[in-house]
Amino acid sequence: MNHVNKIMMGGSVILGLLLLLNLSTPYLYRSLPNDYERTEIILDSLSDNNFKPTIAIFGNSKAMTGINCKILNNEMISDKAYNLSGVGQPLLESALYYPYLPASVNYVIQCLNIPMFAKKPAISSEAALSFYMYGYRYNENLNKFLSPYLDNYANKSPLINNFQGRACLKVGLSTIIRKLTDDDAPGDEVSSLIYPYLYPSNRSELKYERDINQLNSDVNPLQNSELNKECISLIFKLNNYFKHKGIKYFIVLMPENPDIKHTHDKITKNFIQSIENSLSDKVHLINCTSILPNKDFYDAQHPNRNGAEKLSKMIVSHIKSI
C-alpha cells in the first residue's frame, strides 16, 4: 500500500473512532453517576403512568431541604405531594418539566429565591446538557414563551451535545471514587422524591460561623439590582398557562437565614416589596422569607428538618385557604 493510501486509511480510522466515541456518549452519560441524576429520576417519574401526584413542588436545593412532602401528605390526606426540586434548579428548568406533569396534578408549588428575581431567566449549559442526555423533548406549547431563553439549547446538534458531554466519564469516575472515600459526600437521600434532605451529618458550628461571617463581610448582592422584568413576565405567562389547565400555581419566596445581616436590611426589604407589588394581586404569592429563626437552618442557606416542618405546614395552610 503506498503512503497516500496509508494516510487516508489512518485518517478514516481516526475519524471513525472519534465518531464512535461521540455517538456512544449518551449511553456512557446515563450509566455513570453525575450531578444531574435527579433530573433523570424526575423525568423517569413523569413518564411513568403509575406516577400520579396531585401536588408538585419545584425549586432549587433550598426546596429540597425545606419542603417535606411527608408532612404535606399527613396534613392533606386526600392529596399526594412530591418534591421535584433539584440542586441549582432555576425557574426555567422547572418550567421544562411543566408540560410533562400528569393530569392528576392540581397544585404546582414553585419555590424561588430572592436573588433569582434580579436576573434574566436562564439555565446552565450543563443542566441543559443533562436534559439532552436523558432524552428530553422540547415541548411545542412551551416553546412559545420559553424559546428566547432556550433556543441555543433546543436547536443544538447532537454531535456538539455529545462532544460537550464527554466530561461525563471523568465526572462519573470522580463521583464513584468520592462516594467511596469522602465523608462529606452527599448521601442517597438525594434521590428521594418525598424529602430529599441533602445533609448526612449535623451542622458544624465552626463551619457555620465561618460561612456566616464570610457572608456578612460581603456587600449585599442585591445592592444595585432591580427587579428583572423578563423574570416577572415569565412568571405571569406560566401562571396563565396553568390557569388554562385549571391548575393552581403558587410562587413561594423561600426563607432567608436571619443571621445574615443583609437579608433584613433596607435594600432587601425594598426588593421584596417590589416583588410583592408586581405579583401579589395577579399570582398566588407566599412570602416565607422571614418565617424561620437561625436555628432552623443547616447552613447559611438551607433549612434543616425543623425548618422544613414549619415551612411545609405554612404551605399547607395557604393551599387550604384557597
Partner 1 sequence: MIFNTFPFLLFIIAIFCLYYFVLNENTKRQNILLLIANYFFYGWANWRILPLLIITTILYYFLGLKIEKSKEDKKKNIYTTIGVLFGVGSLAYFKYSNFFITSFAQLFKSIGLQTNLHTFDIILPLGISFYTFRLLSYVIDLNRGKYEVTTDFVAFATYVAFFPCILSGPIDRPNTLIPQLTSKRIFNYDLAIDGFRQILWGLFKKMVVADNIAVVTNEIWENYSLFSGSTLLLGAILYVFQMYADFSGYSDMAIGIAKILGFKVTVNFKYPLFAQNIADYWRRWHISLTSWLTDYVFMPLNVRWRDWGNIGIIFAIVTNFVLCGLWHGANWTFALFGLYHGLLFIPLILSGTFAKKTKIHLTKSGMPKIKDFGKMVVTFILVTFGLIIFRAKSINQFIDYIKHICSSSILRIPKVIGYNNVTMIFSIVFIIMMITLEWLNKDKEYGLNISSMKYRFARYSIYLFLFILVYYFGADASSFIYFKF
> Which of residues 45, 143, 164, 306 is near partner 1 by CB under 8 A?
164
Give the three-state DSSP class for 320. Answer: helix
> Which of residues 32, 46, 76, 87 is near partner 1 by CB under 8 A?
87
Task: Report the alpha-carbon distance of residue 286 to residue 108 in Å, rounded.
Answer: 13
Look at the alpha carbons of 60, 62, 65, 66 in this order and tell me if their dihedral is positive or negative.
negative
Residue among 82 and 298 whose Cβ is closer to partner 1: 298
Kindly determine how many residues on this chain lie close enough to bind partner 1 according to the rule CB under 8 A: 32
∠ at Cα 100 (98, 104), nearest 5°? 90
Per CB under 8 A, which of residues 174..213 are in contact with partner 1?
A: 174-175, 177-178, 181-182, 184, 186, 198-199
Give the three-state DSSP class for 285. Answer: strand
* 298 contacts: CB under 8 Å, gap ≥ 6: 65, 199, 203, 304
* 95 contacts: CB under 8 Å, gap ≥ 6: 142, 146, 234, 238
Task: Report the alpha-carbon distance of residue 313 to residue 12 in Å, rounded.
Answer: 63
Residue among 164 and 306 whose Cβ is closer to partner 1: 164
Report yes or no: 173 and 30 within 8 Å, Cβ to Cβ.
no
Task: Provide the CA 155 distance to its chain's centre, in angstroms.
Answer: 22
Residue among 129 and 231 whose Cβ is closer to partner 1: 129
Interface segment toward partner 1; rule CB under 8 A; list 2-10, 93-101, 223-231, 267-275: 2-10
Per CB under 8 A, which of residues 117..136 are in contact with partner 1?
A: 124-126
> Which of residues 52, 119, 144, 166 is near partner 1 by CB under 8 A?
166
Per CB under 8 A, which of residues 41..80 are in contact with partner 1?
A: none
Residue among 197 and 249 whose Cβ is closer to partner 1: 197
Residue among 1 and 322 whose Cβ is closer to partner 1: 1
State the nearest-atom distance from the C-beta of 143 to partner 1, in Å: 26
Residue among 198 and 232 whose Cβ is closer to partner 1: 198
Q: How far apart are the first and last CA of the chain?
A: 81
Interface segment toward partner 1; rule CB under 8 A; list 7-15, 39-47, 149-157, 239-247: 7-15
Residue among 203 and 318 whose Cβ is closer to partner 1: 203
Contact between 23 and partner 1 (CB under 8 A)?
A: no
Helices (H), the chain: 3-23, 25-31, 37-46, 61-66, 69-75, 91-97, 125-133, 140-154, 158-164, 168-181, 205-217, 229-245, 266-279, 305-321
> Which of residues 32, 118, 122, 169 is near partner 1 by CB under 8 A?
169
Residue among 74 and 173 whose Cβ is closer to partner 1: 173
Give the three-state DSSP class for 107. Answer: strand
Report yes or no: 109 and 67 within 8 Å, Cβ to Cβ.
yes
For partner 1, the binding residues (CB under 8 A) are 3, 6-7, 10, 14, 17-18, 21, 34-35, 87-88, 124-126, 164, 166-167, 169-171, 173-175, 177-178, 181-182, 184, 186, 198-199
